[in-house]
Amino acid sequence: MDRLWAPWRMEFILNENAKSGEGDGSSGCVLCGLRQMDDGPGNLILCRGALTYIVMNKYPYSNGHLMVVPHRHVGDFEELTEEEGSELFRMSQRCITVLRENMKTHGFNLGYNLGKAAGAGIEPHLHLHIVPRWEGDHNFMPVLSDVRVIPEHLEATYEALRKSFVKFALESKA
């Protein structure tokens, strides 16, 4: 019998705070807590802007699943400022560019889950999901066994994408 290994999932399964979006208890919000940490594999932040940041989803739907998150703790979409909305849009474009070049993606799902009824896992701090897709990536695992196959370890994906985001930032400044 073949085995699927996803050791990073156990932390999520056992951590009720991660599921509720309450963070580690000290910051009150997992996304605000990440923002306060130094960038690296520990927080999975790939890039920071003036008003938003790009972070890898620690519990991805597919390899390279990213989120664009406002720095400001805001849960209601209508409360975003024009500047925050603009930067969210530009950062999502940057994500797509980097994922296309680095992971040779064929398509993307982009979306917000606003409110618990819509599936928001971290309801009090909105964030935009960018989920890379490839032709033929549909398989029976999610349907029959509620399992997603992620072919690369998070840290390896982080290192590859981080290099691309740094290069992208340098090219943008030139």
pTM over 0.95? The answer is: no
- pLDDT tens, the chain, 174 aa long: 455 566 656 665 566 544 444 444 335 899 999 999 999 888 999 999 999 999 999 888 888 999 999 999 999 999 999 999 999 999 999 999 999 999 999 999 999 988 888 888 888 899 999 999 988 776 554 544 555 666 678 888 999 899 888 877 766 655
Question: For residue 139, is it within any domain?
Answer: no
pLDDT at 22: 44
Q: CB of 55 within 8 A of CB of 34?
A: yes
Which residues are marked as active site? Answer: 127
Q: Which domain holds residue 31?
A: 14-134+147-173
Residue 1: inside a domain = no
155 is a domain residue: yes
| The pLDDT value given to residue 18 | 47
Query: What CATH code is carried by the domain that includes residue 85?
Result: 3.30.428.10
Amino acid 1: pLDDT: 45
* Residue 71 maps to a domain: yes
- Total domain count for the chain? 1
CB atoms within 10 A of CB 92: 20
pLDDT the model gives residue 88: 96
Question: Does residue 4 form part of some domain?
Answer: no
Q: Is residue 119 part of a domain?
A: yes
Which of 131, 47, 33 is CA-nearest to residue 87?
47
Residue 142 lies in a domain: no
Is 59 among the domain residues?
Answer: yes
How much is the pLDDT for 171?
64
